[in-house]
Chain A
Amino acid sequence: ETGVTQTPRHLVMGMTNKKSLKCEQHLGHNAMYWYKQSAKKPLELMFVYNFKEQTENNSVPSRFSPECPNSSHLFLHLHTLQPEDSALYLCASSQESRGLNTQYFGPGTRLTVL
């Protein structure tokens, strides 16, 4: 257990569905991240939040919409996804977003888009 939980662990959705991924950290951290792991690709940073403010959007398509209501919770809202969006989505947190801060990862959500 890393102190970072993600739900659901698995999700299958159609291209017209709307769903949300949830991440919660119990570590008292101020920064939270969304990463995407596709087959045969490196772990790709999607979004960074530091003290609830978005500080990085790594050219992510608008069909992915993040939300960070407080430092402990992070959501990724999904709508009209494509089959190529099928991947493992990992959430992480750290004390702050810069400055030698170790990131702690959740177990991930395995997303399949049909």
Chain B
Amino acid sequence: ILNVEQSPQSLHVQEGDSTNFTCSFPSSNFYALHWYRWETAKSPEALFVMTLNGDEKKKGRISATLNTKEGYSYLYIKGSQPEDSATYLCAPEGGGADGLTFGKGTHLIIQP
């Protein structure tokens, strides 16, 4: 079981503002990092899978970076919209085990 920390636990952001949050994970035995978005009353939905140190992925207004040497990833949302309100989960893959170990998530609320 990997130790995964996400911060902050919750975040209120004004519509139109940009924001970011962090996922920390053990840097040893690292294989990949997954980001998921989980909207209320829906299923978790995959955003990114990242593997290489310095990797950056982008999907619309959402982007993520990865530092495997120090064991962290940032998720950025530019120009937040109400539909971005969700819990954002990260899950490192590694340690020789099947399946993913999820963090507690960052609960993002966009205020109009």
Contacts and interface: CB of A to CB of B under 8 A. Distances in A.
A66 B101 CA distance: 19
B64 to A, nearest CB: 14
Interface residues of B, number: 23
Interface stretch (B12-20, B73-81, B102-110): B102-110
Given A42-B4, A42-B104, A102-B49, A90 B99 contact: no
Contact of B97 (A31, A40, A56, A108): A56
B43 A105 contact: yes
B26 interface: no
Interface residues of A, number: 27
A45 interface: yes
Interface of A: 2, 4, 31, 33, 35, 40-45, 48, 50, 55-56, 58, 90, 97-98, 100, 102-108
14 contacts: A2-B43, A2-B45, A31-B98, A42-B103, A45-B100, A45-B102, A48-B99, A58-B99, A97-B99, A98-B93, A100-B32, A100-B51, A100-B93, A107-B42
